[in-house]
Amino acid sequence: MLARAGVRLRGWFGEAARVKGQSVAAIRQSGSASARGTSQFLRRHYLLVIGGLVLVSVPPLLALFSGGTALGGFEESTREMDTQVAGLLEGENLVPPAPLPPMLFATVEVEQERPMIVSASRDWSLMNPAYTQRLLQAFKIMKERHGYDMAILEGYRSPERQNKLAAMGSSVTNAAAFQSWHQYGLAADCAFVRNGKIVISEKDPWAMRGYELYGEVAESLGLTWGGRWKMMDFGHTELRLPGVMKRR
């Protein structure tokens, strides 16, 4: 019985070895065929392959050697100013306009658009002079080129006020204290004056056209315009100076 069992085991092992040998041979044959096919494809389409390698390798190489490390939306502004406008800024020191009557900011329409705007600061002297001159130049261009009178709704904003506005929800602001350029005097919210009234609403076609023009003018002065943000703020501009706001 043991002898017969040994014969059967040897038969099984022999059959397994034969099948394994056939499988290895088939794999080798398939690998050789694949290698030959690949080699033939490369010889026939070498130009296409080279072009594909160039397309794949160029973008990462450009990113590597460009030296950029900041994510979009968090870096300081590197927007170039219009050369003609830059010359105006160097040669002209504009003076802030006379303050508007406080009652203009206390209307129901204004309060609906901008909560707590009555208590906001519109003191030009609390803002950074570099930003102030650009903003005043924007006001001047909007008036002389496009016929829009502009008014500042809020300039410098204290950290305490920023936190109060943030507590009102994302519809007002997503920025807490020291996360907004307002705390550094480098941002302002502005609107238009028409027939002695403050016009803020984006539903007003005249005002919406004004915001579009204001964005173009502001960007030509090297400012960042809130109208390009995901949470659009058409009346907001800011000057992102390097080393001012420390990210947390």
Residue-wise pLDDT tens digits, 168-177: 998 899 999 9
CATH of domain 83-238: 3.30.1380.10
Say what the pLDDT of residue 80 is: 59
Say what the pLDDT of residue 142 is: 98
- Amino acid at residue number 64: L
- Is residue 137 within 8 A of residue 214, CB to CB? The reply is no
Say what the pLDDT of residue 246 is: 74
- Amino acid at residue number 5: A
Please state, in angstroms and rounded to a whole number, the distance separating the CA atoms of residues 244 and 248: 13
> What six digits make up the tokens of 80?
């170039």
Please state, in angstroms and rounded to a whole number, the distance separating the CA atoms of residues 153 and 56: 50
Three-class SS string for 37-53? HHHHHHHHCHHHHHHHH
Which of 172, 151, 157 has its CA nearest to residue 119?
157
Say what the pLDDT of residue 83 is: 56
Say what the pLDDT of residue 30 is: 59
Say what the pLDDT of residue 67 is: 40
**pTM of the predicted protein model:** 0.66
Say what the pLDDT of residue 43 is: 74
Strand 197-199 to strand 224-225: parallel, antiparallel, or no bridges (unpaired)?
unpaired
Say what the pLDDT of residue 40 is: 76
User: Mean pLDDT of residues grouped by 10 in the chain (248 residues)?
Assistant: 65 58 57 67 71 64 43 46 59 91 95 94 98 98 98 98 95 93 98 98 97 98 97 97 81
Say what the pLDDT of residue 153 is: 98
